[in-house]
A and B are shown apart, each in its own frame.
Chain A
Amino acid sequence: MAEIAIRDALRQALEEEMNRDETVFLMGEEVGEYNGAYKVSRGLLDTFGPKRVLDTPIAELGFTGLGVGAAIAGLRPVVEWMTFNFALLALDQVINNAAKMRHMSGGQLKCPIVFRGPNGPAEFLSSQHSQAFQSFLVHVPGLKVVAPATAYDAKGLLKSAIRDDNPVVMLESEMAYGWTGEVPDEEYLVPIGKADIKREGSDVTLIVHSKPLKMALEAADELAKQDIHAEVLDLRSLRPLDEEAIYESVRKTHRCVVIDESWPMASVGSHVAWLVSKNCFDELDAQVELVASEDVPMPYNHRLELAVQPSVEKIIKAVKTVLYIK
């Protein structure tokens, strides 16, 4: 087992899959000569050449749509957006075409493509560059959406995403590219649609995805000191959602706090909280709590931007609420 950063885990996944399958290619902003805006694709141009590692103009709609066309014509594109904030310009191609090609053709076409890049709040970037778009994407049938927060999951999920015959959106995080974790030396895959218990516990279930996983684990450490044992369930995949894993954990702990760095309205978090309320109604000993970002655009000021997002303190407070601890 080697301890590597998430950016390197992602690069290993790309490299292994590109070696395995000649139809896999990477395109996007700065992926080639610049070695990736966040250095995920470092060295790939040297290894695979300009046919398979393509620098694009900053024109997300065009190159994303080009990827969709390449996918329905038999290739397996990996489209890297420098940020999901720019990807808004490409959403027509993601939502109206990638997600619907199979449906509109009555099952004749498949669209094996991966859209990936950093999503979610970053630091000191103000409103246009610090926002979480998962709810926009999980809303759409025809897409799969994954949101890993460890090096192991990032590598295993990206490999699965590239091999999947459907469009898969992979949400990464600027703040987490440098986080390190153990990754096996031998090849492995993480299946899409499977959640993972990152920490076992008996008193409350913390349901989380993407980079707030770290906060949830820190909160669980703090709570353990107070003899409160939190189970941390990392969704990893947002669509399909591993509902069984969610219910199994909540049936065990009878209490649930959902953490999501998106805005609270119509979010992955609010959806999961609704599912738990509906399907574990008789098992719950308290209402389900949601720790989301504040319902405001992200301010530049650091004190304000931290206050907007979920935090260890907010998670602990929510846990105490569902445990009726003052």
Chain B
Amino acid sequence: MAKNQESSKKSESPQKYDKKFLTGLLVDMLNIRRFEEKAAQMYGLKKIGGFCHLYNGQEAVAVGSVAALDLKRDYILTSYRDHGHALAVGMSADSVMAELFGKITGCSRGKGGSMHMFDAERHMLGGNGIVGAQIPIATGVAFASKYKGTDGVTLCYFGDGAIHQGAFHESLNLAAVWKLPAIYIVENNNFGMGTAVRRVSSVDDFSVKAAGYDIPGKVVNGMDVLSLYEDLKEVIADARKNSRPWLLDVKTYRYKGHSMSDPAKYRTKEELEKYKEQDPILLLKARMLKDKQITEDEFKKLDDEAKKIAQASVDFAEKSEEPALETMYEDIYA
């Protein structure tokens, strides 16, 4: 039986990475944070409708894991909380914001909205609105990589709410039996919508579920982007080399409600503040400051730039055209 690995190390040595790499991670996280803040604001102004699930607090997960990938051959799929992943693979803030606005210039031509960010070229295969439905699909993408012999791996992100779905269990079993290079990442933010994990789960540590399929599992710190990156590097290399699946319980936290309509009254301010002390952006910034890889001024510049990009994406979305009515008949059949 595969033995689960211990809870992740803390990355204490950012200096082994060059400034450019660390700055890249920082910028990606800042861009997501400022983008999501702008999205929340636009939602308040009713520029964005429907469900809108924000990624604030979880930035390290998408950024650190995508940094460990080779998107020429690897793929990612995620849930409806997908803006961060879209930006992490390099989709432009403009195309994501325009999609939120439902404009024709959006990545999915205004057909998908918040829950359905796609970029086939960058191997971002969605944004799925049904809890856990991306898990079998990601398993199939990994199957295709193995079938074609590309050495590609597939990262499949989902929340702790999805882990009780039959789709999760059926997929892990198939991935194990057919030895597929799929890495299942539970973005464990403690709440399935408004329901605390402990109220609906028989276990606290989801990585133990890997044992049921005889695959390796691991608990990963989701607030420290560097340690997450290091963990994912190892796991991805193993999945690629040995063509086998992994299950990662990534401990993270979302600062906002489940969606824009959720005031998150099921948790205390104190709990939220406690998590904000290990904010992934501030953690990385502090380490870079300590190691003199960034100054306060430089950080402020990067942050201002992130705010500018977010604002520019709103301007772009505002200026973009609505889809013409006849486009409703397009993109249904190939």
Contact = CB atoms under 8 A, between A and B. Distances in A.
Nearest to A108: B120
Nearest to B77: A69
Interface centre among A72, A96, A144 (most CB of B within 10 A): A72
Interface in B151-193: 166-167, 169-171, 173-174, 177-178
A280 B331 CA distance: 31
A142 B332 contact: yes
Nearest to B143: A70
Nearest to B171: A62
Given A51-B147, A105-B126, A107-B330, A69 B109 contact: no
B69 interface: no
Interface centre among B77, B129, B174, B330 (most CB of A within 10 A): B174
Given A56-B174, A108-B120, A109-B120, A70 B332 contact: no
A162 B231 CA distance: 41
A269 interface: no
Contacts of A77: 140
Contacts of B127: 104
B141 interface: yes
B331 A107 contact: yes
Contacts of B170: 57, 59, 61-63, 65
B4 to A, nearest CB: 23
B115 to A, nearest CB: 8
Contacts of A72: 125, 137, 140-141
Contacts of A67: 140
Nearest to B140: A69
Contacts of A70: 140-141, 143-144, 147
Interface string B46-90: 000000000000000000000000000001010000000000000
B214 to A, nearest CB: 15
B333 A142 contact: yes
Given A75-B144, A96-B130, A109-B120, A69 B137 contact: yes
Contacts of A302: none
Contacts of A166: 333-334
B148 A74 contact: yes
Interface centre among A25, A64, A107, A110 (most CB of B within 10 A): A107
Interface residues of B, number: 47
A293 interface: no
Interface string A93-125: 100110001111111111110000000000000
Interface in A41-100: 51, 54, 56-57, 59, 61-75, 77, 92-93, 96-97
Interface in B300-334: 330-334
B324 to A, nearest CB: 14
Contacts of B116: 104-105
A174 to B, nearest CB: 25
A59 B177 CA distance: 13
A106 B331 contact: yes
A297 interface: no
A295 interface: no
Contacts of B141: 69-70, 72-73
B112 interface: yes
Given A104-B116, A105-B118, A109-B118, A97 B334 contact: no
Contacts of A144: 333
Contacts of A66: 136-137, 139-140, 143, 171, 174
Contacts of B245: none
Contacts of A248: none
Contacts of B128: 97
A41 B230 CA distance: 46
Nearest to A65: B136
B174 A92 contact: no
B332 A106 contact: no
Nearest to B175: A66
Interface string B103-126: 000111111100010111000011
A44 to B, nearest CB: 16
A65 B111 contact: no
B207 interface: no
Nearest to A66: B140
A313 B106 CA distance: 57
A74 B334 contact: no
B30 interface: no
B133 A105 contact: no
B153 to A, nearest CB: 12
Interface centre among A57, A67, A69 (most CB of B within 10 A): A69
Given A65-B135, A70-B147, A103 B111 contact: yes
A106 B166 CA distance: 29
A18 to B, nearest CB: 13
A61 B136 contact: yes
Interface in A161-191: 165-166
Nearest to B116: A104
B228 interface: no
A26 B94 CA distance: 41
A62 B167 contact: yes
A148 B116 CA distance: 35
5 contacts: A64-B136, A67-B140, A69-B136, A72-B125, A73-B75
Given A93-B137, A106-B111, 12 more contacts: A59-B166, A61-B166, A66-B140, A68-B137, A69-B77, A70-B141, A72-B140, A72-B141, A73-B75, A75-B144, A92-B167, A102-B333
